[in-house]
Structure 1
Amino acid sequence: PLGLSLGLIIEEGLPLAVLERVADSLATAAKKAGVMVVTGDTKVVPRGAADKLFINTAGVGSIAVGIEISPLQVQVGDGIILSGTMADHGITVLAERENLGFSDRLQSDTAALNRLVLSLLDCFPADIHALRDPTRGGVATTLCEIALAAGTSMEIKEEDIPLDRTVSTVCEILGIDPFFLANEGKCLLFVAPAVEAAVLAELYRHPEGERAKLIGRVTGHDAGRVVLHTVVGGQRLMTPLTGDPLPRIC
């Protein structure tokens, strides 16, 4: 990453202390990621025209010569790795917004992954075929989108999906499928089978990847077909999210 822009839409009457806390958090996150906020703008709107504060960012970066990361590079036989537990962010935001009483036991996974990804690409420049952050629509939607774009089918094992116990419990109580919840600090990797173990070992060296798991494999050319092998021995055809995500994040 070379730089970020930052736009703030501020509702009239927003306490200055809230704005200062957000600004401090932004500065801390940017410093940790090693990226500068290089431009920005603010707009104050009348009371009631916005929900306290809207934040918009965009980034510019560079890609090393020879690195080709794309769903079009995905191949039959590729291992599918999830860099950590899924659904942490989505369920945390939902619990906080709705005052569900679980907030003290949940934590968002928001994190910068640039250093982790750069390390992986340095080690395996030709063997990591695709990368994607499973944000909007969660892991299920992201897998379906990549399978469709790559013209491939995939098989996933539910027992291998990393899922925090508290997140799983809250999802069960609320009747929410964690496969469709947003993630803000995880990535899905499609890697050549020969380097699966080495990629996992490299992920484990980073805090953001210490709970990474091999969750499935690219199995054929039935474009867009993603099958989940459930813990009870059945099979479930995964589909993309329809409608707005819950909770609405962006």
Structure 2
Amino acid sequence: MSDVITLAHGAGGKQTAELIDRVFKAHFSNPQFTGDDAAVLPIGGTNLAFTTDGFIVSPPEFPGGNIGKLSICGTVNDLSCMGAKPLYLSCAFVIEEGFPLAKVEEYAAAMAKTAAEAGVRIVAGDTKVAGKGQVDHLFITTTGIGQIVDGVHTSGTLARPGDAVIVSGDVGRHGCTILLARNQFGIDADVTSDCAPLWGTVEAMLDTTKDIHVIRDATRGGVGTVLYEIAGQSHVGIHLDSQAIPVDPAVRGVCGMLGLEPLYLACEGRLVIFAPKAVAGDIVATLRQGKYSKDAAIIGEVTADQPGRVIMRTEIGAETLLPPPGGELLPRIC
């Protein structure tokens, strides 16, 4: 591991995991410290989920959303992945001197609208103003708390051989949207971010069955990074069917031109779900009725062999190792 912080340490891949293990886990470790999307806190006879996330999106506006909407979706979705109904959020703003007040109000309005859709209240916050050039326009940090549904226990350590691997929709759309919004490649494609609050999606799944082992939202590093995280945490192998992975045609075209793997592009409205095969069909059927999960699909299965690895079956029937995430994953979304 490098002796200085690099951009790769914030990209969500191997270097991020090394930083967490070497520094944060080493100093902060306690019974509630977690590698999941939120900590589980047993309080007053119930289990609460507690999480926090920082947002430094560039550009702060993109087709399908802005940094305000994203800051609510990210934290609501982390709570939801623990099977927790989001209840309350706090938010902290770091704003660059000279940033337009109208833009701050625009992002706050987007936060309020998204919070209302998710059924969560923003109840506290903080504001700091940094000198010109000390901040890239605006940073937002949101912290959330939610109540875990009775009978639900999800964790990255709970994937089991025989589980089906499900995605709740097409992959890589947010990362592709951000890449195009930066206008660095001169590519004109009609791609809109999948940014969305997903508690309703999770709630519908849990109404169908509580026999779900893992739920993760595929943000930094995309679905591929999530799969490697779960394979490592649960000490299992994962086999994917490349033909079954839903990818928007425009996203596939951009990835083909730039040599990118859609599985490693960020999502902001997609879940990766591990559940027994016996209930996987019912979960997918439920998801396909939802507003944000109409393209849900079973894309693979969990195996006992090759623990820690993700194997891809190609369209010609060959099997190949999905390259593990490492270095700085592109495009950098935060």
Q: Please state which band the TM-score falls in when normalised by the shorter chain.
A: over 0.9
The alignment partner of 2:140 has SS state of strand
The alignment partner of 2:112 has SS state of helix
Is residue 132 of structure 2 the alignment partner of residue 50 of structure 1? Answer: no
Q: Deviations over 1:102-147 (max 9, x none)?
A: 566110000111111012112211x211111111211111111101
1:162 corresponds, among 246, 260, 276, to 246
CA 1:12–1:104 in structure 2 vs 1: closer, same or farther (change >3 Å)?
farther
2:145 corresponds, among 60, 67, 76, to 60
1:18 corresponds, among 78, 97, 103, to 103
Contact persistence 2:208–2:282 (CA under 8 A): no
Contact persistence 2:167–2:296 (CA under 8 A): yes
Matched with 1:145 is 229
Structure 1 residue runs of 4+, over 6 Å off?
none
Is residue 227 of structure 2 the alignment partner of residue 175 of structure 1? Answer: no
CA 1:45–1:103 in structure 2 vs 1: closer, same or farther (change >3 Å)?
farther
Q: Cα distance, 1:203 vs. partner?
A: 0.5
In structure 2, what is the Cα distance between the partners aligned to 1:247 and 1:55?
20
Is residue 312 of structure 2 the alignment partner of residue 228 of structure 1? Answer: yes
Moved more, 91-100 or 25-34: 91-100
1:74 corresponds, among 156, 159, 163, to 159
In structure 1, what is the Cα distance between the partners aligned to 2:126 and 2:185?
35
Is residue 153 of structure 2 the alignment partner of residue 86 of structure 1? Answer: no
Contact persistence 1:154–1:217 (CA under 8 A): yes
Q: Cα distance, 1:235 vs. partner?
A: 2.0
In structure 1, what is the Cα distance between the partners aligned to 2:185 and 2:102?
25
Q: Cα distance, 1:236 vs. partner?
A: 2.0
In structure 2, what is the Cα distance between the partners aligned to 1:248 and 1:220?
33
Matched with 1:204 is 288
In structure 2, what is the Cα distance between the partners aligned to 1:73 and 1:38?
33
Q: Deviations over 1:70-114 (max 9, x none)?
A: 233222111111000000000101110235455661100001111
Is residue 204 of structure 2 the alignment partner of residue 108 of structure 1? Answer: no
The alignment partner of 1:159 has SS state of helix
Q: Deviations over 1:13-35 (max 9, x none)?
A: 11122112111111111111111
Contact persistence 1:10–1:50 (CA under 8 A): yes
Contact persistence 1:11–1:49 (CA under 8 A): yes
The alignment partner of 1:61 has SS state of strand
In structure 2, what is the Cα distance between the partners aligned to 1:208 and 1:106?
16
Unaligned runs of at least 5 residues, structure 1: none
Paired amino acid for 1:34: G
Moved more, 17-26 or 84-93: 17-26
Structure number with higher relative contact order (C-alpha < 8 Å, ≥ 6 residues apart): 1
TM-score normalised by L of structure 2: 0.71
Contact persistence 1:230–1:236 (CA under 8 A): yes
Contact persistence 1:116–1:206 (CA under 8 A): yes
Contact persistence 1:92–1:103 (CA under 8 A): no
Paired amino acid for 2:90: S
The alignment partner of 2:205 has SS state of helix
Q: Cα distance, 1:245 vs. partner?
A: 2.5
2:218 corresponds, among 102, 115, 134, to 134
Contact persistence 1:132–1:142 (CA under 8 A): yes
Q: How large is the RMSD of aligned CA atoms in angstroms?
A: 1.5
Number of equivalences = 249
